[in-house]
Amino acid sequence: MAWGIIATWRMALEGIIKAKEILENGQSSLDAVETAVNMVEDCPEYRSVGYGGLPNENCQVELDAAFMDGDTLSIGAVGGLRDFKNPVSIARKLMQEKFNIFLVGSGAEEYAHKTGFERINMLTEYSKKEWYKKRKEIYDKNLNPYDGHDTVGMVGLDKRGKIAVATSTSGLFMKKHGRVGDSPLSGSGFYADSKIGAASATGLGEDIMKGCISYEIVSLMDKGYHPQYAAEYAVYNLNKKLIDRRGKAGDISVVCMNNKGEWGVATNINKFSFVVATDSQKPTVYIASFSNGKTTYKEASREWINTHTE
Ligand code: GLY
């Protein structure tokens, strides 16, 4: 049976290469997605996810993550989690619970501690320096503090037809303490149904959650639309709605895959990278862009891959 995996941003490449082996071996999409997202979380050079993530306004790294099993529709999520190594694994653990599946702040940390997760300081010296630099820029140049927010969102389909989706992010750079974005919110940052497909989003959480875009994409795929059509329709519909009603729309990019391993991508920004591997396609990094109301994409060069982390 077909298998495949798709993820937001170039930072997922090394994880996707590993996940491909797991899926090829016939193992579960839950394990493939968790392994791949853990690899992004553990890498300090990927600075908007996990260890070395972007700090909030108090120079604390507060992490959001989620996991969904498309067979059972089980969900686990954490928001504003501090000082734990792999938020996505904590979300996966929460997915096994019947109640209390979405925990935030100290409640999420207490759960992680009690269930044996490793506690480490997630703030690196590099992130601290970036924080001081950014704070100075904000005061000196009156800049908008809210940028640099790239979620890793990943959809995996295994040979048995199970679809899993997961997200992990440190959220907006300089966000308010306690701010939670779209990434751990079911239907906004992610959604999966093995009978249909799954989707995940990255960009400005405050706008993504206004359209519940991941659920919208899965609903469109359920109506029979190809993932590429579903992704573009959902992103440009929300983009237009936000511009019509609010004058502007934040960054919105999505990836999705249906239960046949067909995939789609859409963005309203100029450069959105993503990574795909399927039973008929080796792990490939693409760069998508938005022009004339459409998403186009091309394969990234080796040089681009070697010189970019986002
Ligand atoms: N999309 C991630 C966030 O807004 O936190």
**Does residue 160 register a pLDDT over 80?**
yes
Q: What is the pTM of this model?
A: 0.95
Residue 226, pLDDT > 90, answer: yes
**Can you give the pLDDT at residue 67?**
98
Alpha carbons 35 and 294: distance in angstroms, whole number: 33
Confidence of residue 266 (pLDDT cuts 50, 70, 90): very high
SS3 content of the chain, % helix, strand, coil (to 5): 35, 30, 40
User: What pLDDT is stored for residue 143 in this prediction?
Assistant: 61
Give residue 301's pLDDT band: very low, low, confident or very high (50, 70, 90): very high
Ligand 1 mean position, distance from CA 121 (Å): 21
Averaged pLDDT for residues 198-221: 97
Structure tokens at 152: 């890793």
- Residue 48 binned pLDDT confidence (cut-offs 50, 70, 90): confident
Q: How far is the CA of 166 from the centre of ligand 1 (A)?
A: 14
pLDDT of residue 104: 98
Give mean pLDDT, residues 142-168.
86
Above pLDDT 70, what percent of the chain? 97
- The CB of 172 under 6 Å from ligand 1? The reply is yes
Tokens of 53: 């993530």
Catalytic one among 8, 151, 267, 295? 151
pLDDT exceeds 80 at position 148 = no
| Long-range contact set of residues 219-226: C-beta below 8 Å, sequence gap at least 24 | 221/196, 221/197, 221/256, 221/258, 222/193, 222/196, 226/258, 226/262, 226/264
Q: Do 81 and 105 form a contact (C-beta atoms < 8 A)?
A: yes
Residues 6+ positions from 191 with CB-CB distance below 8 Å: 68, 165, 198, 199, 214, 215, 217, 218
Distance, CA of 236 to chain centre: 19
Give residue 150's pLDDT: 83
Q: What is the CATH number of the domain that holds 13?
A: 3.60.20.30
Element (H, E) at 144: none
Task: Give the range of the structural domain holding residue 46, as residue numbers without chain letter.
Answer: 4-307
Of all protein residues, the one whose alpha carbon is nearest to atom 4 of ligand 1 is 205
Q: 293 or 34, which is more confident? A: 34
Domains contained in the chain, number: 1
**Do 155 and 185 contact (CB within 8 A), yes or no?**
no
